[in-house]
Amino acid sequence: MKYLTLGSLFDNTINFADQSKVEHIMGATIFAFAGIFLYTDDCVLIGGAGTDFEEIFGEWFDKNKASREGIVVYNNRTVVATMQYYPDGRWYETFEYGVPPEDKNKFNDEYFKRVYDCVEEDTVGIYFISSDTNRNLLEIIRAVKEKKKDLKIMAEISTADCVSENLEYFKDKLFPLIDIYSVNKPESFSLFSVESEEEAIKYMQKLGKPCFYRVGKKGSYMVEKDRYAFVPSVHLVPKEEEIDPTGCGNCSTAAALYGFAEGYDPDMVAAISNVAASYNVMQYGPYTTFNDRVRKEALAHATELSKLAVKG
């Protein structure tokens, strides 16, 4: 497979700020997988799921002819993640179930093997969420980089880890293993100790590592050492018909990996990512239907959107 997305699968419960609620929504890494799957079917999701995988995800995988070769099943319910949104845009998650503690080592070994085996001669890119609570992932990334040195690796840095005291760790331990990373606006302020987008971009350029920079409903930047492009968000349906933004960060970030690894310029990378997010908000959970027609339309939308880029 050309692209791998690494992570976990969730069964989401979402409590919205207006006190409405939805349950049993597919979540977590399936959003990232959908971000790449929107542009190519040559990708695989490598993720842990419980014995209820087929009940929650099976119909979506069947409908879209998505490979199950990366699904590592553990003996418990799939992680139930409850998301609580607040009127000011803040949110937090709580988690239940997942890999039983007594099976953790066995699961990690199988997960490592599944990732390693899926990296083949034609593999070009890997997306993962970087979290200080799971440094096992960095060992996996290090191993696959040794197996195939020209891989493009994207790390989406977790919100909890975006604090200034972690910056030196990222520079010393994470950045040497990856080719591109992503943070959103609040995360950048906390991580880089800055107070504006402009300051954040200057800091990113000083670090010299390409960054896909998400700035919420406004849009996104693709930032490189000596240039950047800002592309506004896009709405493929009327705003009142947009259903749920959950997962847009994962979806757009993984799409940015696709654009980056395919060699697109920064304006097109950001446009590809914003278009992926626009498909993601059309329903609860990931976009529902993927085929050649949808992929052709998505790339056409991105091409048009890139013409609105502001470059620096």
Domain tally, the chain: 1
* Sign for the pseudo-dihedral over CA of 128, 149, 140, 172: negative
- pLDDT given for residue 132 in this prediction: 61
Distance, CA of 308 to chain centre: 24
Tell me what pLDDT residue 131 has: 73
Token pair belonging to 271: 């446009």
| Burial class of residue 38, CB neighbours in 10 A (0-12, 13-18, 19+) | buried
Q: Pairing relation of β-strands 21-28 and 3-15? A: antiparallel
The parts of the chain modelled with pLDDT lower than 50 are: none
What distance in Å separates the CA atoms of residue 183 and residue 222, rounded to the nearest whole number? 11
pTM: 0.95
What DSSP state is assigned to residue 78?
P
Tokens of residue 295, six digits: 């992929």
User: Shortest CA distance to 139 belongs to which of 112, 170, 101?
Assistant: 112
| φ/ψ of residue 34, rounded to 5 | -65, -30
Q: Is 153 helix (H, G, I), strand (E, B) or coil?
A: strand
Burial 137-157 (b: 16+ CB within 10 A, else e): bbebbeebbeeeeebbbbbbb
pLDDT at residue 135, as a whole number: 67
Question: Angle 141-34-166 (CA atoms, 0-180°, nearest 5)?
Answer: 40
CATH of the domain at 108: 3.40.1190.20
Which residues fall within 8 angstroms of residue 293, CB to CB, at 6 or more apart?
none
- Say what the pLDDT of residue 137 is: 86
In tens, the pLDDT along 181-238 reads 999 999 999 999 999 999 999 999 999 999 999 999 999 999 999 999 999 999 999 9
φ/ψ of 211, rounded to 5, equals -135, 130
pLDDT value at residue 94: 93
> CA 9, 141, 171: angle at the middle one, nearest 5?
110
* pLDDT at residue 133 in the model: 60
What pLDDT was estimated at residue 176?
95
Other beta carbons less than 10 A from residue 168's beta carbon: 9
Owning domain of residue 299: 3-311
Cβ neighbours for 244, distance < 8 A, ≥ 6 positions apart? 14, 22, 25, 281, 283, 284, 285
Q: What share of the chain is helix, strand, coil (3-state, %, to 5)?
A: 45, 25, 30
